[in-house]
Structure 1
Amino acid sequence: MAARLFEKKEHAAIYKKYRFSAQENLQKVIFAYLDKKLNSFRLAVDVGCGSGQSTQLLAGRFEKVVGTDVSEAQIEEAKQAGHPPHVSFLACPAEEVPLDDHSADLVVAFTAAHWFDIPRFMTEVDRLLAPSGCVILCSNTLDLQLRYGDCSEELTEILREVIKQISPYKHEKINRVLDDYKEIFDAVPFQDKERITDIFDKMPMSVANLVGYIQSFSPYQTFLKKQPEAAKSLVAKIEQRLLETMGVSSEETQLELWTRQVCVLAHKKA
């Protein structure tokens, strides 16, 4: 069964504000693979697109892009963000995409596939993909680092403590991220496939945006639902500790979030 944890309007708004699209090095991996494998760039389907940050990346390469998500609130956020005319969004389960058989040259999921009903989703991928189409499933991991001046180690330790504090509230499907998408890789029904687990990117962001990013995590949202006062207190303490460690007073001070990403890439041979 697929997990549905990002459907409330409040969470969708946080997701849109603080989540970021696939970064430079991950983009290079994806587009180099597509250039090598694809002969046609007609239709790309971004499944579990959330508020559409990464869907927009495909717009410059494909004649048509469709972003789908089970959450109507997320899809509404994606539509309101503005997008080119050949990009559209629709609300539907990842396992039941209302597009024609063998119509897609690419099916992709950014930081979403671990939430799906994997057997049903893989059947749907096979149905959607045209001969010689590709599927790409990637995700940020929890291997995160913060960098700022000479206090990078201390900042990273604060972040890891926070992740540890909210980890009791994580859904079991997060284990698919913790095992670097191996279960998902094994389930891909095509022989021509590979898994890359060491794609590193850096994302400049303010302290305020980093705290917002943490608030967008599903374990934090579950924590907030069950213990609202404790969750809000945790957020306030995070920001205070970060600012004190950095020796600054403004939450708009910029630091760098370094992420490690995993990526499963596969080609459906004609």
Structure 2
Amino acid sequence: MAIQMFEDRGHAAVYQKYRFAPGKELQQTILSYLREKKAIPAELAVDVGCGSGQGTHFLGEHFKKVVGTDISKAQIQEAKDTPCMPNISYLVCPAEELPFEDASVDVLTSFTAAHWFDTERFMREARRVVRPGGCMAISTYTVDMSLRYGDCSQQLTKAFRECWDKILKYSNDRLKYVLDDYKEIFEALPFPDKKRVTDIYDSIPMTVEGVVGYMESASPYQTFKKNDPTAATSLLQETEKRMLETMGVSSRETMMEFWVRHVCVLGCKEC
């Protein structure tokens, strides 16, 4: 069964507020592959482990019907409470028990979630529901982010990463899949026609508040906060202050570039 890390309603609300949608380069990587495999236009896309729906919204622009699924009731409620296109719907279910008929799904996706799944059971279920000639696109952003702002990008990134490294000490063991650039997940993909792209870079416009909020939304931070709430809160407050001082600004709404590297596993089921 999938690891459940985002069940708390407060955590889900932070996740919805601060997590970002797939960047343009990741979107183009996925769409180019689907066009190459003639998987679009298509009827049904299913986004597994959709959280509060950031990736699901992207799919809504390209498919007739999109269903986002997640094991967390709190996350699905946040997704339902967020305005979206009328062709998008959500439901609560485990990634390993998808309520779709055999060979009924044209495209199956998962954005920054597959490392929480029971890989073997999820892949078996994916093979069952994806139609012949259908595709899978499984991606994650990695932990080696960087920040850019004027001529202080190096110092700003240093402040961010020193904080981030302290937070990552509270990571679940499943982080190993991300640190390995989804190599194990790629190898487990049950389709012989597959590839893994590890060098997709996206610049996400983000405020200082947004960067700090992103760290707050991360599951390791939530674990840190449960263990030592005072230290966890102080760490983010001190990091925000340090970032503002480095940038020479006072407003938390000051914009910067948040650079992320994506890994994407792509596969097409044999006809």
TM-score by length of 1: 0.98
Show the 5 A alignment for 1:16-35.
16-35=16-35
Distance (whole Å) between structure 2 residues aligned to residue 144 and residue 84 of structure 1:
30
1:147 is aligned to 148
Distance (whole Å) between structure 2 residues aligned to residue 89 and residue 164 of structure 1:
34
Show the 5 A alignment for 1:34-113.
34-37=34-37, 38=39, 41-113=42-114
Does 2:11 correspond to 1:11?
A: yes
Q: Which amino acid aligns with 2:104?
A: S
2:196 is aligned to 195
Distance 1:39 1:164, change over 3 A: closer
Quote how far apart the aligned CAs of 1:39 are. 5.6
What secondary structure does 1:208 align onto?
A: helix
What secondary structure does 1:45 align onto?
A: strand
Distance 1:40 1:148, change over 3 A: closer
Distance 1:39 1:151, change over 3 A: closer
What secondary structure does 1:142 align onto?
A: coil
How many residues are treated as equivalent by the alignment? Answer: 270
Distance (whole Å) between structure 1 residues aligned to residue 165 and residue 23 of structure 2:
25
Q: CA RMSD of the aligned region, Å?
A: 0.9
Distance 1:230 1:39, change over 3 A: closer
Does 2:165 correspond to 1:160?
A: no
Structure 1, unmatched stretches of 5+, are: none
Deviations along 1:209-258, one digit per CA (max 9) or x if unpaired, are: 11101101110010011110110001100100000111111111111100
Distance (whole Å) between structure 1 residues aligned to residue 85 and residue 166 of structure 2:
41
Distance (whole Å) between structure 1 residues aligned to residue 16 and residue 40 of structure 2:
33
Preserved CA contact (<8 Å) 1:40 1:105:
no
Distance (whole Å) between structure 2 residues aligned to residue 84 and residue 139 of structure 1:
24
Quote how far apart the aligned CAs of 1:166 are. 1.4
What secondary structure does 2:146 align onto?
A: strand
Q: Which amino acid aligns with 2:91?
A: L
2:216 is aligned to 215
Does 2:221 correspond to 1:204?
A: no
Structure 2, unmatched stretches of 5+, are: none
Preserved CA contact (<8 Å) 2:135 2:267:
yes
Q: Which amino acid aligns with 2:139?
A: C
Preserved CA contact (<8 Å) 1:192 1:267:
yes
Distance (whole Å) between structure 1 residues aligned to residue 227 and residue 247 of structure 2:
31
Quote how far apart the aligned CAs of 1:121 are. 0.2
1:228 is aligned to 229
What secondary structure does 2:133 align onto?
A: strand
* Percent identity of equivalent pairs: 54
Distance (whole Å) between structure 1 residues aligned to residue 79 and residue 251 of structure 2:
30
Distance (whole Å) between structure 1 residues aligned to residue 150 and residue 196 of structure 2:
34
2:260 is aligned to 259
1:131 is aligned to 132
1:268 is aligned to 269
